[in-house]
Amino acid sequence: MASDPLPKSLTDLLKPDRYIRRDGDDYTQAFLRLLPTGQAWPRSPDSTLARAVDGLCQYWGYVDGRAGDLLERESDPRLTVELLADWEKAWGLPDPCFPKATTIAERQRMLVLYMTWMGGQSRAYFTALMEFLNFDVHIKEFAPFMAGVSQVGETRPIEIIKHPGAPDEIVLDTDENYRWYIGPPELRFYWTASVGMVSVAWFRAGSGQAGVDPHVRMGVEEDLQCLLNRWQPAHTDLVFDFSSSPATLDPMYGTP
């Protein structure tokens, strides 16, 4: 059963507060109504008194509007423009990992990130963090095989899809990593970040130096590397994985 609508007065009370702006004309009318009455206090718009009052009150209308800007826009880190530098100073910005964040929108986004991100150490945390910064990153962790604890066989996640009147379909998640790996115990302290698209710089006979410059250089965004290296768990080493990049799949990728 649908509930009865709230009374209008109560509905208005439940609305969020909103700053009511008053312009110079509003202040002029209010000021004139406060003056005494009589021939010495004319209200005619052409009178010297009314024009003097209007000139003074236009300034207070401007002050009122600026107060509204501060309350409605500059107090919100998602919208601030004039006080953005002050917000950034309070939160230790700009971030040295993001020297390219120079536009107002990018700076606001970094400010909101610093104010709202709670932190974490899981793969899901770093993946979500990179998604917020518009990076598509796939993270893998490793665990050494331990007798008595680990098991042999396929250890990647599987999904069972049930079909009515037909055998269940088993789908293997090939994007995920194996549960255990054969290797030294130190394997647990390494993790990889697959970044997909990378930049490629090939050796050029006319400009490269033989014996010094490699055949090809692959790199990822500097801000991505900086942030992951700074926030990675202190006991781990991060290795960037380029195996899924077109540069490693196509031998002619990036060539003119």
| 69, 130: one domain | no
| Residues 14, 79: Cα–Cα separation, whole Å | 24
Q: Where do we find the tokens 């009178």?
A: 47
Residue 42 in tokens: 């004319």
Within 10 A of 8 (CB to CB), how many other CB atoms are there? 8
| 70, 125: one domain | no
- Please count the structural domains in the chain: 2
| 139, 67: one domain | no
| 129, 44: one domain | no
| 61, 133: one domain | no
State yes or no: pLDDT of 178 exceeds 90: no
| 245, 125: one domain | yes
| Residues 40, 31: Cα–Cα separation, whole Å | 16
Which residues does 82 contact at the CB level (< 8 Å), separation at least 6? 69, 74
What pLDDT, on a 0 to 100 scale, did the predictor assign at position 95? 83
Residue 219 belongs to domain spanning: 121-144+181-249
Q: Are 222 and 198 within 8 A, CB to CB?
A: no
Closest CA to 97 of 223, 248, 232, 238: 223
Average pLDDT over residues 24-48: 92
Q: Which of 38, 57, 74 is the last residue of a domain?
A: 74
Query: Please, which pLDDT band fits residue 89 given cuts at 50, 70 and 90?
Result: very high
| Residues 64, 79: Cα–Cα separation, whole Å | 19
* Within-domain flag for 254: no
| Residues 226, 204: Cα–Cα separation, whole Å | 28
Q: Are 161 and 171 within 8 A, CB to CB?
A: yes
> DSSP secondary-structure letter at 74?
I
Of 104 and 16, which is predicted with more confidence? Answer: 104
| Residues 13, 220: Cα–Cα separation, whole Å | 53
* CA-based end-to-end distance of the chain: 69
Helices (H), the chain: 8-14, 24-34, 48-69, 84-90, 104-116, 123-132, 222-231, 246-249
Instruction: State whether residue 172 is helix, strand or coil.
Output: strand
| 128, 49: one domain | no
Closest CA to 226 of 249, 186, 193: 193
Average pLDDT over residues 32-61: 92
Cα dist. 141→62, 119, 194, 203 in Å? 58, 18, 11, 33
Q: What is the pLDDT of residues 121-162, one digit of tens each?
A: 888 888 888 887 777 888 888 888 888 888 888 888 788 888
Q: What is the pLDDT of residues 215-242, one digit of tens each?
A: 777 666 677 788 888 888 888 999 888 7
